[in-house]
Amino acid sequence: MKSAIGMKQVLRPLVAALALGACISAQSATTLTVASFPSFDDSIKIAIPLYKKIKPDVEIKLVSLAYGDHHTAMTTALATGAGLPDVMGLEIAYVGKFLDSAGLEDLSKAPYNGNQYAKQFFRFTYPQATSASGRLVAIPADIGPGTLFYRKDILDKSSVTEADLTKSWESFIEAGKKVKAATGAYLIADASDLSGIYVRSNLKDGEGVYFDSKGNPLLNTPRFKKAFELAQAARKAGIDGKIGAWSNEWSEGFKRGQLASQMIGAWLAGHFESWLAPDTKGLWRAAQLPNGAYASWGGSFYAIPSKSTNKAEAWELIKFMTMNKEMQIAAFKKMAAYPSLISAQDQGFIDEKIPFLGDQQARKLWQVAANKIPAIPVGKYDAVAADVVGAALNDVLEQGKDITAALDEAQGKLKKRIRK
């Protein structure tokens, strides 16, 4: 009995010490709030248990909103300085808006010194998040090599080959006529898809989509004129369904075989399989863009708000999400979003056949494209320019406006809007 009592006396201070240690540990734990959007938020969901193993004292709280709601909330939060997370997920279309924002940390400066990691990523990614003054506001997590997805069964019924689609832009339109005549399906959802891909294709390193190096608009240049001409030719040929991307009609068009192709980022394969058209497994194939074009379409980044109270831990999490090979591959497998990290191009994984794409080794295509996409800077007025171009193209396609006149007018409008 005395022995048992003695043992209890020995254990009591040990238990108390352990309890005190647990309490101190709990108090010293860091909670990182990460704001993201579907399906980019899947990468954080994957990371939480993995990160816990190497950082047991860090708790990750994910706050996810729909794509538009998330970016609207982040824009408001940066403007007001309230409701900011520690780590902010951003789609590339919004990164440009924040290039000169003091609301985001400049990751090129100490203590981050982010530019030292640039060579670990595809060369076109860092310029997308770097301002003209050299501010690095975000680190790339995934990329969107431009890809032509097409329904092989529909092409076969139309006696159209992949080569017919990819040989040239003109050949693509002619193939669309055959598809429409043979099956009634539209080759593309909207004629603007042609224009959108063309203006981004085969630019040289350092060239902007909408602005030159001095910030002058480029809307009335031959590149935009050709893009508008292609869109107009597609509309006149009757090969587009006049269907806006991400609409219910768009998703139904894929499910019902009414849309035979889509030019967009490689990540669409994952959307097809998970929710857009899962019943079309095995019918789709991927190809490079027509006419030997290479372009970036989409991509996601992580940034740190300047008012984050956990900047050091936020930076460690971002490095884990973007520079850890295993994490990058795990996210790729879950979301089919192509990794931005070069070392994540694991050849075994790249060589794997993709059942949804008829066992095609499509990742090989995306690897080639990713290495050929030019390093194009993203400007803070790119979103404004895109709106102006969209309105001008609509005038051409819907109102029959002369292309040259429409682009000259768009050039003038854009100059006024960016000077306000």
In the prediction, which pLDDT does 202 show? 77
Q: Report the Cα 60 to chain-centroid distance in Å.
A: 23
> In the CATH hierarchy, which fold is given to the domain comprising 32-143+298-350?
D-Maltodextrin-Binding Protein; domain 2 (3.40.190)
Mean pLDDT on 8-16? 39
Mean pLDDT, rounded, for 266-284: 94
Handedness of CA 238, 243, 249, 254 (dihedral sign): positive
Instruction: Please tell me the chain's helix, strand, coil percentages from 3-state DSSP, rounded to the nearest 5.
Output: 55, 15, 30
Q: From CA 317, how far away is CA 323, in angstroms rounded? A: 10
pLDDT in tens, 152-192: 999 999 999 999 999 999 999 999 999 999 999 999 999 99
Q: What is the pLDDT of residue 28?
A: 59
Q: Residue 66 corresponds to which amino acid?
A: A
Q: Closest Cα to residue 332, out of 27, 107, 20, 39?
A: 39
Average pLDDT over residues 329-358: 89
pLDDT in tens, 37-63: 998 999 999 999 999 999 999 999 999
| Residue 71 CA neighbour count, 13 Å, CB half | 16
Answer yes or no: is pLDDT of 17 > 70. no
CA-CA distance, 20 to 15, in Å (whole number)? 8
CA dist 410 and 389 (Å) reads 7
- Can you say whether the dihedral through the CA atoms of 357, 373, 327, 335 is positive or negative? negative
Residue spans in the chain of domains classed CATH 3.40.190.10: 32-143+298-350, 145-295+355-418
User: What does 248-284 look like in DSSP terms, one character per residue?
Assistant: HHHHHHHHTT-B-EEEEETTHHHHIIIII-GGGTTTE
Q: What gap in Å lies between CA 242 and CA 161, rounded to an integer?
A: 24
Distance (Å, rounded) from C-alpha 223 to C-alpha 37? 33
CB-neighbour burial class of residue 46 (10 A; exposed 0-12, middle 13-18, buried 19+): middle
Confidence of residue 345 (pLDDT cuts 50, 70, 90): confident
Q: What's the whole-number mean pLDDT along residues 304-319?
A: 97
- Name the fold adopted by 145-295+355-418: D-Maltodextrin-Binding Protein; domain 2 (3.40.190)
Residue 25 and residue 53 in contact, taking contact as beta carbons nearer than 8 Å: no
First to last CA, the chain: 88
Q: How far is CA 154 from CA 159, 234, 256, in A?
A: 9, 18, 12
Other C-beta atoms closer than 10 Å to the C-beta of 238 total 13
What integer pLDDT is reported at residue 420 of this predicted model? 59
In Å, how far from its chain's centre is CA 405? 33
By residue count, the chain amounts to 420
Q: What tokens were used for 53?
A: 């193993």
**Residue 103: its pLDDT value, please?**
94
pLDDT for 83-105, tens place per residue?
A: 999 999 999 989 988 888 899 99
CB atoms within 10 A of CB 371: 14
Specify the higher pLDDT residue, 5 or 414.
414
- Give tens-digit pLDDT for 98-148: 888 899 999 999 999 999 999 999 999 999 999 988 999 999 999 999 999
Distance from C-alpha of 104 to C-alpha of 85, rounded to nearest angstrom: 11
Helix (H, G, I), strand (E, B) or coil at 145: strand
User: What pLDDT, in 10s, does the model give residues 290-305?
Assistant: 999 999 888 999 999 9
Its pTM stands at: 0.87
State how beta strands 296-303 and 139-151 pair: antiparallel
Cα–Cα nearest to 403, from 231, 209, 236: 231
